[in-house]
C-alpha cells in the first residue's frame, strides 16, 4: 500500500519503520522543517527515537499534499491537540483514503474523541483507530507488540489489521471505537498519578492500587458512554494502562515522577522534552466525569495537582482518606446479603 504518516515524532517514526518492514511505500509529514531535514539527512530521529533507522525509500516532507495525495491509508500520529488543525490542512488532498488515528487524547473544548474530530472535518470518510500497549522505543526495534484496531465497520478494521500485522506486531480488531479511544486517552492521566506516587516514594503497593482503581474509573466512565466493558479489560484498556504506568519508556509516568518530586507540570514537561498527553487529557477527563456524573477521584486529584496548586503529598493523603466504601457498587446489591 501507499501510506502517508502525519507526524514524525517517536511514535510516527516507529510506525513508519514497521510499515516499511511490512512492504508498504511510506511518506512522512512533519510541520517542523528542521525535523524533516534531520530525518532526510540522518535517516533517524536523533532526539526522540535515537538508534532506530528509517529506510532510504521513505520520503519525509513538510508538504502535506506530497505526503497525502495518491495514498490508500493515512496514519494520524500528531499530538492530540493538533489533530484537528492537521486534518484540516490535509482535507483538500483526501478523497477515498482510509484514515487510522494512532494519536491518543480527547479534544478539551468539545470533549470529542479524535476519530470523531476527523470525521467532523471530513464527513463520510472511513476512520479507524489503532491503540494498545506499544511504546515507540520497542515498536521501532520490531520487538513483540500486540494492539487493537477499531472501526465502526469491520472491513475498515480488517484493512488496518492487514496493513500493520507482522510477525512482531499482532493486531486484533474491535468495533468499540469510543472505548478504545477513551482507554488510550485516560490511561495517560492515570499514568501521571502513578508517576507522582513513585516520585513520592510510595512503592509498588501504591502503583498496583492506582492501576487497579484507575481502570475502574475509566471503565465506569466508558460504560456510561455506551462502551463495551470487555474493551477496558483488553489491550487498549488495562493493557495500555499497565505499560504506561510502569514502563521506563512512559513519558507520562516520567512527568509524574518529577511532579511527585516537587516540580510543576511545566517544569516536568520541559525536562521530559516530549509531549505529555496526560496533561492535555486531564481537564477533558474531568469534564467528562462531571458530564456523565461519574466519580473519578484519581482523575480529580491529578487535575488539582496540575492546575490548582495542590501538593502531590496532599493529593495522595486525600485519596487514601476518602469516605469508606465497598470495592464495587455491585456488592451493595441484593445479591450479597450482609
Contact 53, 46 (CB under 8 A): no
String of DSSP letters for 27-70: EEE-S-HHHHHHHHHHSEETTTEEEEEPPTT-EEES-HHHHHTT
Nearest Cα neighbor of 174 from 187, 186, 184, 188 is 184
3-state secondary structure at position 122: coil
| Residue length of the chain | 338
Q: Is 65 a catalytic residue?
A: no
For 299-319, letters b (16+ CB in 10 Å) and e give bbbbbbbbeeeeebeebbeeb
First to last CA, the chain: 61
String of DSSP letters for 159-188: HHHHHH--SSEEEEEES-HHHHHHHHHHHH
Catalytically annotated residue among 104, 187, 248, 330: 187
3-state secondary structure at position 190: helix
Indicate which residues carry an active-site annotation.
187
Amino acid at each position: 500500500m501507499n501510506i502517508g504518516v502525519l507526524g514524525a515524532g517517536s511514535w510516527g517514526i516507529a510506525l513508519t519503520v514497521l510499515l516499511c518492514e511490512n512492504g508498504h511505500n511510506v511518506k512522512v509529514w512533519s510541520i517542523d522543517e528542521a525535523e524533516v531535514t534531520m530525518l532526510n539527512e540522518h535517516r533517524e530521529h536523533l532526539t526522540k527515537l535515537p538508534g532506530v533507522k528509517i529506510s532510504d525509500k521513505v520520503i519525509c516532507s513538510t508538504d502535506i499534499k506530497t505526503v497525502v495525495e495518491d495514498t490508500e491509508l493515512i496514519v494520524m500520529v500528531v499530538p492530540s491537540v493538533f489533530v484537528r488543525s492537521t486534518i484540516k490542512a490535509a482535507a483538500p488532498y483526501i478523497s477515498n483514503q482510509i484514515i487510522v488515528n494512532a494519536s491518543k487524547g480527547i479534544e478539551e473544548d468539545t470533549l470529542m474523541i479524535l476519530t470523531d474530530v476527523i470525521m467532523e472535518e471530513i464527513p463520510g470518510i472511513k476512520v479507524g483507530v489503532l491503540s494498545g500497549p506499544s511504546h515507540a522505543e520497542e515498536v521501532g526495534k520490531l520487538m513483540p507488540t500486540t494492539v487493537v484496531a477499531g472501526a465502526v465497520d469491520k472491513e475498515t478494521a480488517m484493512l488496518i489489521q492487514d496493513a500493520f500485522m507482522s510477525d512482531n506486531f499482532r493486531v486484533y480488531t474491535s468495533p468499540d471505537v469510543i472505548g478504545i479511544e477513551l482507554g488510550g486517552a485516560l490511561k495517560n492521566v492515570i499514568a501521571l498519578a502513578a508517576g507522582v506516587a513513585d516520585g513520592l516514594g510510595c512503592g509498588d503497593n501504591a502503583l498496583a492500587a492506582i492501576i487497579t482503581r484507575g481502570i475502574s474509573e475509566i471503565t465506569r466512565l466508558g460504560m456510561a458512554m455506551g462502551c463495551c466493558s470487555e474493551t477496558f479489560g483488553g489491550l487498549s484498556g488495562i493493557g495500555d494502562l499497565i505499560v504506561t504506568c510502569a514502563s521506563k519508556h512512559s513519558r507520562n509516568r516520567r512527568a509524574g515522577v518529577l511532579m511527585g518530586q516537587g516540580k510543576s507540570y511545566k517544569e516536568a514537561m520541559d525536562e521530559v522534552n516530549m509531549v505529555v498527553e496526560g496533561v492535555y487529557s486531564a481537564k477533558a477527563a474531568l469534564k467528562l466525569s462531571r458530564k456523565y456524573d461519574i466519580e473519578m477521584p484519581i482523575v480529580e486529584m491529578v487535575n488539582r495537582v496540575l492546575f490548582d496548586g495542590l501538593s502531590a503529598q496532599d493529593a495522595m493523603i486525600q485519596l487514601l482518606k476518602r469516605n469508606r466504601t465497598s470495592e464495587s457498587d455491585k456488592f451493595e446489591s441484593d445479591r450479597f446479603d450482609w
